[in-house]
Amino acid sequence: MNNDLLLPALLALLIVFVLAVGLGRWIHRQERRRGLIEQRDQPLVGDGIGGAFGFIGGSAAFLLGVLMLTSIDHFKATEEIARAEAIAYSAAYDATAAAPAELQPQIRRDLACLMRSVVQDSWSAVAAEDLTGDENTQAWTLRAYATLNAVESERSTEQAAMERIEDGLAEAVKAGQSRLLSARASMPMPLWVVVYVSLFIVFLVVTLLLRPYPPFESLALGSILMLTAAMLWTLAAYQAPFNKSDGVYIAPEALEAVMTRLRDVYPGPVWEPCERLATSEPG
């Protein structure tokens, strides 16, 4: 679970809950002490306060629902970016079939090691939300580009193949950068303020309305608190799509599947263990 986001959100929810319920019960005690409750001609639950409560509660639920759906959309969009990255690497590697024979093994070796580094290093970096933690992946990317730039071909088929490899590699690198930048969605602070203010009013009004009926008060407040906490958990989980600990995680399955297919179609020594070109240091 992403504690950096979830724990502060739940702590803020608990504080809002305690303050609102405490204020509601204090107001109720003051009313009883002054005899205001017995002086009412009508019950507190009426059309006016019911409408106001419905508006405030509905607004809070709607806003939380919108934020939750936004986080889910962010998760799905990031998942599509990871698939696009895998497809681009697959297309680049398949294009090596028409590359110059003398350089074909080196090009394939660079791409194979680059994909492995993406799965191991770049994915670990994005899971840690450390955009500078994939130096080995960057090193293999530079080596792959250097190998491609050194190729000189005269046949049109080889030139077309090299262009396809370069295009595929460029698309893969672009998708990889988008994946890194999608490590976490951000929600503007004013939206969070509106959410917690709305929840404060909801807890306060429920306490005032149901204080004369303790069992119903506890049931209503507990239900609202649990539902809100669950929505905040969902919101936090989908905001961090590479966090492994909450079960909502984008794994490098697509790229691993691509490498499995490529090993079967293009077997050979290019798939032997790769050396490290750089050491990643979180920063």
The model carries a pTM of 0.79
* Cβ atoms within 10 Å, residue 61: 17
CA atoms within 13 A on the CB side of 33: 6
pLDDT by residue (tens digit) across 162-206? 889 999 999 999 999 899 888 877 777 888 888 898 889 889 888
Distance of CA 272 to the CA centre of its chain: 33
Reply yes or no on whether the pLDDT at 41 is more than 60: no
Distance of CA 113 to the CA centre of its chain: 27
Reply yes or no on whether the pLDDT at 230 is more than 60: yes
Residues with Cβ < 8 Å from 100, sequence gap 6 or more? 151, 153, 158
Residue 155's pLDDT band, with cuts at 50, 70 and 90, is low
Task: Check residue 81 and give its pLDDT.
Answer: 94
Reply yes or no on whether the pLDDT at 273 is more than 50: yes
Residue 82's pLDDT band, with cuts at 50, 70 and 90, is very high
- Interatomic CA distance for residues 65 and 265, integer angstroms: 46
Contacts of 235-238 with CB under 8 Å at 24 or more apart are 235/9, 235/64, 235/67, 235/68, 235/71, 236/1, 236/2, 236/5, 236/6, 236/9, 236/71, 237/1, 237/2, 237/6, 237/71, 238/68, 238/71, 238/72, 238/74, 238/75, 238/185
Task: Check residue 283 and give its pLDDT.
Answer: 45
Residue 27's pLDDT band, with cuts at 50, 70 and 90, is confident
Reply yes or no on whether the pLDDT at 44 is more than 70: no
Residues with Cβ < 8 Å from 277, sequence gap 6 or more? 136, 139, 140, 143
Residues with Cβ < 8 Å from 211, sequence gap 6 or more? 24, 25, 28, 217
Distances (CA, A) of 216 to 89, 181, 225: 59, 46, 14
Task: Check residue 35 and give its pLDDT.
Answer: 64
Q: Smallest Cα–Cα separation from 3: which of 259, 180, 228, 236?
A: 236
Token reading at 192? 């969070």
Give residue 46's identity as a one-letter amino acid code. G
Q: Which residue has the higher pLDDT, 68 or 212?
A: 68
Q: Which residue has the higher pLDDT, 80 or 249?
A: 80
Q: Which residue bears the tokens 């919101």?
A: 235
- Interatomic CA distance for residues 79 and 234, integer angstroms: 17
pLDDT by residue (tens digit) across 52-78? 667 777 778 888 888 888 888 989 999
| Angle in degrees, 0-180, between the axes of helices 135-149 and 156-181, rounded to the nearest 10 | 160
Domain residue ranges of the chain, discontinuous segments joined by +? 3-35+49-271
Task: Check residue 157 and give its pLDDT.
Answer: 74
Task: Check residue 115 and give its pLDDT.
Answer: 95
Token reading at 247? 């079960």
Q: Which residue has the higher pLDDT, 41 or 120?
A: 120
Exposed / middle / buried, residue 252 (Cβ in 10 Å: 0-12, 13-18, 19+): buried
Q: Which residue has the higher pLDDT, 6 or 235?
A: 235
Token reading at 36? 């205001």
Strand ranges for the chain from DSSP E: none
